Amino acid sequence: MTLKEDILKGKYFPIESRDHLRAIMVSLLVYLPGLAMAYDLYESIHYGYEGMAIIELVTMLTLYGFYMLFPRFIGINGISHIILAIFSIFLLITLFVPDYNAEFSLFWFSTLPIVAFFFLGKEKGILWTGIITTGFIIVWILASLKQITLLYDHTLLIQIIFAYLGVSYIIYVVEKERSMYENKLNRSLEDNRLLFKEVHHRTKNNMQVMMGLLETQSFKIEEPKYKKMFHAHVDRIKSMSFVHENLYKGGSYEEVDMHQYLGEVLGNLQKITQHTIITDIGYITLSIKDSISLGLIVNEAVTNAMEHAYSVGVGRIDVTLQHHGKECVLTIKDDGIGFNTQREFHSLGMTLIEDLSVSLPNGRLDISIENGTTIRVYFDLKGEI
């Protein structure tokens, strides 16, 4: 159990989002004034201020009762309105109901505009400023008509009203500037997202044009050896194009979902082979660079197994990608005849696998040729899972 996520209910909202911060601040606005009110309740009972003790007890029960419904049944805006209403009524009451620490309640008036503008925005902040100011005026009118007796001089109440309006105006200006810059940042972020999306879309289209040119050229080549080379290059470009397609369709433009991406790469290879490709790809996200490297490794290793692992009949090729803490393991395994060490170890495909493996974060390559061929690539994730 953690303070921010469990006790302050931050776990119900995305980390680093504005709602995550608002949820934590709402919780603090309940706990901290609640503790102060609990202590004041004890003093009210101890010194015989029974009226204020009853008001504080009812206020605390109401406040915590509504807070227990947050955020499953009451949203952030809803609980913010409720907190403002409860605090406003309570603080206006403290202007004329005797209390042992009556002057201390004046401090909490300064928190009301902060809550109103920070949690509810400019428009609703202005609305609440008007409501609370109206409450001040009603209390002053009732005191002038001798319906209630103020704990303070009438002149001091007028000064409190003007001080409250002054603080509200300052918070309003700050919130207005903050929201203006936030809107600019959001517009810039959206523009960048559209730009990245267009870049990935164009890159994918350009790669498709390249594949088309290579495939067209391969039709004019009769030598099987060179035709095979053209098709190998087409598959490599196609595996890279899947990255940009994944980024174009996905919500992120910097990280690639390996479960989806490698599924597309292997699905493309499954179409051109009778061997069965069995996959177990974990839900891991990697950077564009590392994703392309991993995709090319998978393409080369599986293509090699398709061509050389089984001399007769059909076989099985297992591809897994799993993580253990921050370390990831990519495994490509077949039960075929194993590598021809004089040929495959010095091929272009194996050279690519070796070079791409070491390009990954702390990457290393391990190859076993017992009972078939097993290729394992170990590397680290750059961030936390």
The rounded Cα 103 to chain-centroid distance in angstroms is 44
Q: Is the pTM of this model over 0.75?
A: no
Pairing of strands 373-380, 327-334: antiparallel
Domain final residue pick, 115, 131, 152: 152
- Give residue 278's pLDDT: 92
Mean pLDDT of 87-108: 88
Flag the least confident range among 139-153, 157-171, 307-321: 307-321
Residue 248 belongs to a domain: no
Residue 221 belongs to a domain: no
State whether 148 and 269 are in the same domain: no
Share of the chain above pLDDT 90, in %: 35
Cβ contacts of 157-160, under 8 Å, gap ≥ 24: 157/95, 160/106, 160/109, 160/136
Q: Which H or E element spans position 6?
A: none
The SS3 assignment for 341 reads coil
Cβ burial of 108 (10 Å; 0-12, 13-18, 19+) is middle
Residue 246 above 80 pLDDT? no
Residue 65 above 90 pLDDT? yes
State whether 11 and 136 are in the same domain: yes
Check: CB of residue 210 under 8 Å from CB of residue 241: no
Flag the least confident range among 9-13, 169-173, 186-190, 268-272: 186-190
- Give residue 201's pLDDT: 65
Residue 163 belongs to a domain: no
Local structure of residue 278 (DSSP, 8 states): E
Q: What CATH number corresponds to the domain at position 307?
A: 3.30.565.10
Cβ burial of 56 (10 Å; 0-12, 13-18, 19+) is buried
Flag the least confident range among 70-79, 163-172, 217-226, 337-346: 337-346
Cα gap 336→182, rounded to integer Å: 59
State whether 259 and 141 are in the same domain: no
Residue 178 belongs to a domain: no
Residue 328 above 90 pLDDT? yes
pLDDT band at 351 (very low <50, low <70, confident <90, very high): confident
| Number of structural domains in the chain | 2
Residue 166 belongs to a domain: no
Q: Could you tell me the residue range of the domain that residue 9 belongs to?
A: 3-152
- Give residue 95's pLDDT: 93
Selection from 33-47, 262-276, 311-325 with the highest mean pLDDT:
33-47
Residue 370 above 60 pLDDT? yes
State whether 146 and 31 are in the same domain: yes
Sign of the four-CA dihedral 317, 322, 324, 327: positive
Residue 182 belongs to a domain: no
State whether 378 and 261 are in the same domain: yes
Check: CB of residue 2 under 8 Å from CB of residue 22: no
Domain final residue pick, 122, 152, 182: 152
Residue 236 above 80 pLDDT? no
- Give residue 326's pLDDT: 85
Cβ burial of 52 (10 Å; 0-12, 13-18, 19+) is buried
State whether 144 and 269 are in the same domain: no
- Give residue 196's pLDDT: 66
Residue 241 belongs to a domain: no
Cα gap 357→334, rounded to integer Å: 19
Residue 64 belongs to a domain: yes
Domain final residue pick, 87, 120, 152: 152
Q: What is the per-residue pLDDT across 76-88, written as a single tens digit (0 to 9) for each?
A: 999 999 999 999 9
Cα gap 320→281, rounded to integer Å: 5
